[in-house]
Amino acid sequence: MTYPLKKIYFVDPMGYGNLSQYDESLLSNILKLDIVYFTNIKFDAKPVPFPTYRIYRYSDKKGLGKILSYLRSQLFLLAKVISDKPGIIHFQWLKIPWLDFLLIRFFRLKGIKIVFTAHNILPHNSGDRYRKAFGKLYAAMDKIIVHTGPTKKELSEKFCISKEKITIIPHGLLEIQNVDRKKVNVLKDQFAEDLGLDKKLIFSFLGSISKYKGVDVVIDAWSEIQDDDIHLLIGGKGKVKNLEKILAKPNVTLFNRFLSNEEFQALLELSDFVLLPYREISQSGVLLSALSKRKKVIVSNKGGLVEPFEFGQIGYILSELNEEVLIETIQIAKSQEVFSVNEEVWVKIEAYYDWKEIGNKTALLYQSLLKE
């Protein structure tokens, strides 16, 4: 296959944590293209096989300092664009909509194709605050990538965007990188012994803690559960209301802090079911991490959370998002704890979320734009 030789700028201001793993996994599976990668100074995945500029430094700043830092980074990007004249700029994230809109308009006037991956249609926990701004941004794009069919439908209907402008390319499975395997094993044994997890069914709520993820539903449900044969692990940084409802219970453990890669991996591997009762989501990094370890899940009927169930039963989908339904589902999960997911189901899931195929689809999208 022959590709045009124009440069492609792959730009991710939030390229750290799960997004750095996403970028590395995707870029490592796009071949024969002249790509330049612009990312965050906190990028923490394996190096990508392309020239890399860690230009975004806003993450640890506040207020005006954050805005000015992001502005300086975008001015650097602008200078590189004027110098290199790339054919495509592919944005993974946009932080200041009004500024980014002006920049994108300028790039479009220069004949550059703009691609945007809508990992989420709107920023988390923002309601409709940014709806108008993102509506203008979406209208300015040449192509928009989403990860699931429901997200494409919602984006098209909410912002009156032609479906031909939106391309579905799945988000691949997430394998945590830079993990000390020996430390993970030690932590697993330590948690199991200290918390008395032997022969118990383990449910977990992992990752950053936020209202949109439904942590309050988990807390309200667990406060009503009286069962010493099951245990809940909550691991991640964030504000948690009404903790007094469950902290005194012997069958729950809270790690309310940023987890190291080894701690996250250990808690995930100890889990029998991962809880994902999200209020809103396009696709979840925690889900994709859980699937990579072949973990069963309990999910709300939102975005890409239900997508892997198309291949077979890998847990349970909540009929409604409330504590009563979650309690009932946890009880069903316990009564059927011996059920195992068919090997064929996992093979199909792993094929669908395979990074090589995702890289091929992304490269084909680039090629079609460069030929126009």
Residue 238: the pLDDT is 86
Query: Contact at 8 Å (CB) between 332 and 353?
Result: no
169-219 pLDDT, tens per residue? 999 999 887 889 999 999 999 999 999 999 899 999 999 888 889 999 999
238-293 pLDDT, tens per residue? 887 777 778 888 999 999 888 999 999 999 999 999 999 999 888 899 999 999 99
126 — pLDDT class (breaks 50, 70, 90): low
Which secondary-structure segment (H or E) carries 260? none
What is the set of domains in the chain, with CATH numbers? 8-172+354-371 (3.40.50.2000), 181-352 (3.40.50.2000)
Query: Contact at 8 Å (CB) between 282 and 147?
Result: yes
Residue 218: the pLDDT is 94
* pLDDT greater than 70 at residue 1: no
Q: Mean pLDDT over residues 89-100, rounded?
A: 94
* pLDDT greater than 60 at residue 42: yes
* pLDDT greater than 50 at residue 106: yes
Residue 242: the pLDDT is 76
Which parts of 204-254 fold into alpha helices (H)?
215-222
* pLDDT greater than 90 at residue 56: yes
Residue 338: the pLDDT is 64
2 — pLDDT class (breaks 50, 70, 90): very low
Residue 129: the pLDDT is 79
Other residues' Cβ atoms within 10 Å of the Cβ of residue 127: 9
Query: Contact at 8 Å (CB) between 59 and 13?
Result: no
